[in-house]
């Protein structure tokens, strides 16, 4: 299947930004801004072509392990995120996560060493000459963005940014990268980072589709599912569970291989919009208030908006985003009815509920297959779900 991989990465970088905004208060579009700055610096250093494409992906995903790191290391005390103790853990997890990602070039340890300082004072004690160039570029741009770009993009902030760059040269960032940035780091360039710089980014690194086999698609899907599922331990395996059941049911119902793969990917991404919902709602074990449920309902619309950024992804987007629609039109967020929902979209709605019912969470034990199917049939009797699909779930899952 052909996929706009760079577009998928860019769209999902928004998910990472949502997590960082909630926990460490970086500004929106942080990952894209770091990617754009990194690509500009790299061009000054003579990097081009597929190397530049890969650098953009690395930069967009430089904090890919943040949600996993929070759950495994800091979930009991989120205030610790302000100091990021054991920051090397998040680098190590991030490096492991991207293994098997469909890169064009073989550049190892870029994520692993993206917090190393030029003078060797970083988490792994590596000096600049021991660190991949891509890591050094991303480190520079990440530092500058976090130090300056949470402020307004004004002339005053521009002066502050120049001062920050001067202070971190030779200690936190190496002279080679700092000099390359300095060549492009005009006031006009800095102010553009607060505007529509994405068009310039895609001009420098065109989003070309890649042909991927199912094993590569699964690695991509599992990677992005972690961004959602690790945000809250209450749903730590939900997205992949939906993806696996979507694949199994699709095969049972006789769909072609490409549709099976699309359903797997849609299942993994269906809750990507939950990253824009606060953990105080996601992790509430009690019944949500009407106001809280109204916020939660927005997650499917966020999924739709995030996945709309990917070229030629409309079919997968709809499979993913319509999983809370009902046949009688009472679902959300779009209120679609039976005449507007195809078989795959109906399947995803059933699978999502089945998976939620049968998986165990910290506050409940998963139901049996038989009991879950009873509940699904009851919902079908109310006109919400497709009974024919539920019958197939009962026989195949």
Q: In this predicted model, what pLDDT tens digit does every residue of 50-61 receive, in sequence order?
A: 999 999 999 999
Distance of CA 317 to the CA centre of its chain: 14
DSSP codes of every residue in 269-332: HTTGGGGGS-HHHHT--SPPPHHHHHHHHHHHHHHHHHHTTSTT-HHHHHHHHTTT--TBS--S
Q: Please write the tens of the pLDDT for every residue from 269-322.
A: 999 888 777 666 666 667 777 777 677 778 888 899 889 989 999 999 999 999
Within this chain, do residues 231 and 331 fall inside the same structural domain, yes or no? Answer: yes
pLDDT at residue 214 above 90? yes
Q: Are residues 180 and 255 in the same domain?
A: no
Write the CA distances from 184 to 42, 229, 241, 346, integer angstroms.
11, 39, 46, 51
Out of 204, 236, 266, a domain closes at 204
Q: Which domain holds residue 283?
A: 213-396
- The stretch 321-339 carries a mean pLDDT of 96
* Whether residue 193 is found in the same domain as residue 245: no
Q: Both 382 and 342 in a single domain?
A: yes
148 and 258 housed in the same domain: no
What pLDDT digit, counting tens, does each position of 160-204 carry?
A: 888 989 999 999 999 999 999 999 989 899 888 888 898 999 999
pLDDT exceeds cutoff 70 at 325 = yes
Count of domains observed in the chain: 2
Which pLDDT belongs to residue 146? 82
User: What's the Cα-to-Cα distance from 334 to each of 176, 297, 331, 353, rounded to whole Å?
Assistant: 51, 10, 7, 18
Q: What is the pLDDT of residues 20-30, one digit of tens each?
A: 565 555 557 88
- Let me know whether 250 and 392 are in one domain: yes
227 and 181 part of one domain:
no
Instruction: Tell me: do 161 and 128 sit in the same domain.
Output: yes
Which of 204, 228, 254 is the last residue in one of the domains?
204
Flag whether pLDDT at 391 surpasses 90.
yes
- Binning pLDDT at 50, 70 and 90, where does residue 84 land? very low
Show which of 156, 182, 204 is a domain's final residue.
204
Query: Which residues does 262 contact at the CB level (< 8 Å), separation at least 6?
Result: 1, 315, 316, 319, 344
For residues 65 and 95, membership in a common domain is answered with: yes
> What value does the mean pLDDT take over residues 69-73?
58
Number of H helices, E strands in the chain: 19, 2
**Average pLDDT, stretch 251-277?**
92
Note the pLDDT of residue 83. Answer: 45
Q: Are residues 248 and 352 in the same domain?
A: yes
pTM (2 d.p.): 0.86
What three-state secondary structure class fits 383?
Answer: coil
- 149 and 36 within one domain: yes
CATH number at residue 337: 1.10.3210.10
Average pLDDT value for residue range 370-385: 97
pLDDT at 80: 42
Lowest mean pLDDT among 43-47, 82-86, 315-319, 321-325: 82-86
User: Do both 80 and 131 map to the same domain?
Assistant: yes
Determine what percent of the chain is predicted with pLDDT higher than 90. 55
Residue 77 has pLDDT above 50, yes or no: no
Say what the pLDDT of residue 151 is.
63
């Amino acid at each position: 299947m052909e996929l706009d991989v760079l577009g998928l990465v860019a769209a999902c970088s928004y998910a990472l930004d949502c997590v960082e905004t909630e926990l460490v208060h970086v500004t929106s579009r942080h990952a894209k801004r770091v990617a754009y700055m990194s690509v500009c610096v790299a061009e000054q250093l003579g990097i081009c072509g597929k190397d530049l494409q890969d650098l953009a992906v690395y930069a967009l995903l430089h904090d890919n392990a943040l949600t996993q790191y929070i759950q495994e290391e800091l979930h009991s005390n989120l205030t610790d995120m302000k100091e990021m103790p054991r920051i090397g853990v998040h680098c190590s997890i991030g490096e492991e996560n991207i293994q098997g990602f469909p890169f064009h070039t073989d550049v190892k340890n870029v994520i692993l060493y993206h917090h190393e300082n030029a003078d060797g004072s970083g988490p792994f004690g590596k000096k600049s000459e021991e660190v991949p160039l891509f890591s050094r570029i991303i480190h520079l741009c990440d530092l500058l963005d976090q130090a300056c770009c949470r402020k307004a993009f004004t002339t005053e902030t521009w002066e502050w940014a120049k001062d920050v760059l001067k202070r971190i040269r030779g200690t936190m960032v190496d002279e080679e990268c700092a000099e390359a940035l300095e060549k492009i780091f005009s006031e006009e360039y800095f102010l553009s980072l607060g505007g529509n710089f994405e068009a310039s980014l895609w001009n420098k690194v065109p989003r070309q589709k890649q042909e991927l086999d199912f094993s590569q698609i699964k690695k991509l899907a599992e990677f992005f599912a972690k961004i959602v599922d690790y945000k809250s331990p209450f749903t730590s395996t939900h997205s992949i569970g939906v993806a696996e059941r979507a694949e199994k049911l699709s095969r049972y119902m006789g769909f072609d291989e490409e549709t099976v793969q699309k359903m797997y990917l849609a299942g993994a991404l269906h809750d990507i919009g939950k990253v824009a919902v606060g953990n105080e709602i996601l992790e509430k074990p009690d019944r949500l208030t009407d106001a809280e449920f109204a916020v939660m309902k927005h997650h499917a619309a966020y999924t739709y908006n995030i996945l709309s950024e990917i070229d030629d992804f409309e079919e997968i987007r709809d499979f993913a985003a319509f999983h809370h629609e009902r046949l009688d039109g009472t679902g959300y967020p779009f209120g679609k009815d039976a005449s507007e929902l195809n078989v795959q979209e109906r399947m995803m709605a059933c699978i999502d509920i089945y998976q939620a019912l049968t998986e165990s969470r910290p506050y409940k034990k998963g139901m049996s297959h038989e009991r879950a199917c009873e509940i699904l049939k009851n919902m079908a009797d109310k006109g919400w779900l497709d009974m024919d699909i539920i019958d197939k779930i009962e026989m195949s899952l």
